[in-house]
Amino acid sequence: EDWKDRGAAVSMRKEVDAEGRTVIKSVKKGVRDFSFGRVLGEGSYSTVYLATDRQTLREYAVKVLEKKHIIKEKKIKYVNIEKNTLNRLTEHPGIVRLYYTFQDEASLYYVLDLCNGGELLGVLKKTGTFDVECTRFYGAQILDAIAYMHSRGVIHRDLKPENVLLDDQMHVKITDFGTAKLLPDPRDPRPPPEDASGPNGAHDDNRTASFVGTAEYVSPELLTDKSAGKPSDLWAFGCIIYQLLVGRPPFKAATEYLTFQKIVGLEYEFPAGFPPAARDLVERCLVLDPNRRLTVEHIKNHEFFDGQQFGKELWRIKAPRLR
């Protein structure tokens, strides 16, 4: 099996050499460099632990994947997609950063940014709904992160409030890139790693034979043409904005099939009192034809985000109190 540690991060360490000179050496981190604490959460194929770097005392979230289980469940491809994608997205505060990867006989380890604030979904469930100010702030941070990942040739394909984590400042960190699609990187002449282009590997040119994502947020073009591109993430963004203001996603039914029917029929409603500027934004994101949907730049300039900062400044703003 391919467990190659392509692109694994290393840390720099100061050492004194035999002649007494200080030299900077790069050292690869391993399991023994961390002390493991409590379990932060569990996924279908992983357990996430709080862990501390013994040397720097910095805290991380370490995702541990059992090799046997991944092989048995045929998830090797997804594990590699997640790592390759995260290794491409290391320069944005709104995306969970992968610092190191390593392995032992039984497991793979991903050392990630610690997100103490939990999932945006959990926070939303506590408050029920967000007011316009909170929706604008979290919407702006999510959009800024989407803009960055798209600029680096990554389509997330499974954006939803569960995959938006929050750090100790209650700022956004997007996670779960296991079903992402890697386009050729505009800043990297090498082709994307093989098997990293989607569930169908190298043959997946803008098409995916199988459904990826979560029923409520899946775009109509994925259901009708089995294709997903940058606009698919902006469909999900429209669903998230609606959900923050209303407390539930726009398309929701008893079964996946019925949810899909609502999506392709654009069957959803705004409750009374839904803010008009937000309504206009959502209506322009939830457009069936992906080519007629708002782009990231359109959304940044939409009146709902009037006066909103994007870029570096946005990540220095104090998060609004949740209401």
Binding site for ligand ATP (CB under 6 A): 40-46, 48, 61, 63, 96, 112-115, 119, 165, 175-176
Q: Which is nearer to ligand ATP, 75 or 150 (CB)?
A: 75
CB of 176 vs ligand ATP, minimal distance in Å: 5
**In the numeric block, which tokens belong to residue 305?**
């985000």
Q: For residue 222, what are the CA distances in angstroms to 100, 151, 212, 258?
A: 33, 21, 9, 15
Nearer to ligand ATP, 113 or 221 (CB): 113
- 104 an active-site residue? no
Cβ of residue 111: shortest distance to ligand ATP, in angstroms?
10
Min separation Cβ 291 and ligand ATP, Å: 30
H-assigned helices in the chain: 67-72, 76-88, 120-127, 132-151, 220-225, 230-246, 256-264, 276-285, 296-300
Residue whose tokens read 């967000």: 130
Half-sphere exposure of 310 (CA within 13 A, CB side): 18
If one counts every other C-beta atom within 10 angstroms of the C-beta of residue 283, the result is 15
Say which of 33, 113, 144, 158 is annotated catalytic.
158
Residue 104 or 194: which CB sits closer to ligand ATP? 104
22 vs 210, beta carbon nearer ligand ATP: 210
Nearest-approach distance from CB 90 to ligand ATP, in angstroms: 14
Which of residues 34 and 304 has its CB atom nearest to ligand ATP in the complex? Answer: 34
Q: How far is the CB of 165 from ligand ATP (least distance, A)?
A: 6
Structure tokens at 251: 């398309």
Burial (CB count within 10 angstroms: exposed 0-12, middle 13-18, buried 19+), residue 237: buried
How many Å apart are CA 16 and CA 20, to the nearest integer? 6
The rounded Cα 120 to chain-centroid distance in angstroms is 12
Q: Which is nearer to ligand ATP, 27 or 71 (CB)?
A: 71
- Closest CB 103 distance from ligand ATP, rounded Å: 16
Helix, strand, or coil (residue 267) = coil
Which residues, 6 or more positions from 73, have their beta carbon under 8 angstroms from its beta carbon? 45
Q: How far lies 187's CA from each of 80, 151, 190, 280, 296, in Å? A: 21, 9, 9, 35, 20
Q: Which residues are designated catalytic?
A: 158
